[in-house]
Amino acid sequence: MVSQSPLLVQTTSYAKKFCSFYSIPEKRAYRAKMSYFWGLTYLCSSSGYLIMKGTNKLQLMNPFIRKQMIIDTSAIEDYFCRYGPRVLLTFVKGSNEYVVVASCTVSCSLHVYQSRYSRWVTYSKRGNPWTVLDFVVLHNTIYVLTNKAEIGVLSLNSTSLKLLELKNMPNGPSFLPKLLTSDGKLLVVFFEQNKLLDVYMIDFSTMSYVKLETLGDLALFFSYPKSHALSNPGKWGYESNCVYYINTIHPECEVYSGSNNEMIKCIVPADSHRLPPRSQLYWLDWCFQNQHDEVDYSMVQ
């Protein structure tokens, strides 16, 4: 499994303690030889790791290099529910240390764990002083997106958030936007199937939102836990100027045009007929197994 192509994380109702991966271009499933879901709730994939929530813990597993990390969450358990959180794993440049950023849409809180200190720090509680919806790593810096379409730089040396002064900020719709990166660019995406696809690039030279008319050479990969952008997707068997969307309820990937947001096709697994009787297949998330985000403590004072 050395391909950099996005894989789908999938599981079945028959054996939820196991997961596997599905490659859309290859029309093939790969079975992971590690147990995962027993007593755990899947949250997302980040930096090649699958992140699960258990009682008072986060369990991070990388099935490609057979590595596991466990983080105690008892200090933030009241704010960090099993359902609705978003989690980002990033490593510290030049070391074996790592940072985990977690937000919960239910409690509207933001928490950061740094392995060098082995503890959680709360940045925002109940949405005060801000509510963070999404976050990414760009140029060794963690950027966050608030519910007011503000973009800020998260400091790892204090509990501060430096909001950028941006022009032409969009009036966000009622549903949640996504913050993505691709080829050194920062993107804000508002997407609803067949209804709305607004993509903005942050132009750091003019400090403004710039609306893109089409996705061009980009493909977007949407799921509830986390979304991604990939340039030159044809290299990995995907189409440019398209949105690949999974909703976690059915094993289907809906493909929408990046020009008019019309559905082009619907992709289903080729081997679903091999499932055990009375078993249901679920596509949970996208996994970029060779993704390895890094942050630099010196970038934000």
- Is residue 251 domain-resident? yes
Tens-digit pLDDT profile for the chain (301 aa)? 445 679 999 888 765 556 789 999 999 888 776 655 677 888 899 998 999 988 899 999 988 888 899 999 999 888 776 556 789 999 999 899 999 999 987 778 999 999 999 999 999 988 889 999 999 999 999 999 998 889 999 999 999 999 999 999 987 655 678 999 998 999 999 999 988 899 999 999 999 999 999 999 999 999 988 899 999 999 999 999 999 999 878 889 999 999 999 999 999 998 765 666 677 888 999 998 878 899 998 876 5
- Is residue 1 domain-resident? no
- Is residue 41 domain-resident? yes
Counting the structural domains of the chain, the total is 1
- Is residue 17 domain-resident? yes
User: Regarding beta strands 294-295 and 85-92, do their DSSP bridges make them parallel or antiparallel, or are they unpaired?
Assistant: parallel
0.85 surpassed by pTM: yes
CATH number at residue 292: 2.120.10
Q: Where are the alpha helices (DSSP H) in 99-203?
A: none
Please, how many CA atoms are within 13 Å of residue 252, restricted to the half-sphere of its CB? Answer: 9
Q: Is 103 exposed, middle or buried (0-12, 13-18, 19+ CB in 10 A)?
A: buried
- Is residue 2 domain-resident? no
- Is residue 138 domain-resident? yes
- Is residue 69 domain-resident? yes
Structure tokens at 89: 């794993």
8 Å CB contact between 181 and 187 = yes
- Is residue 16 domain-resident? yes
Before 129, cis peptide (omega within 30)?
Answer: yes
Write out the residue range of the structural domain in which residue 255 sits.
7-299
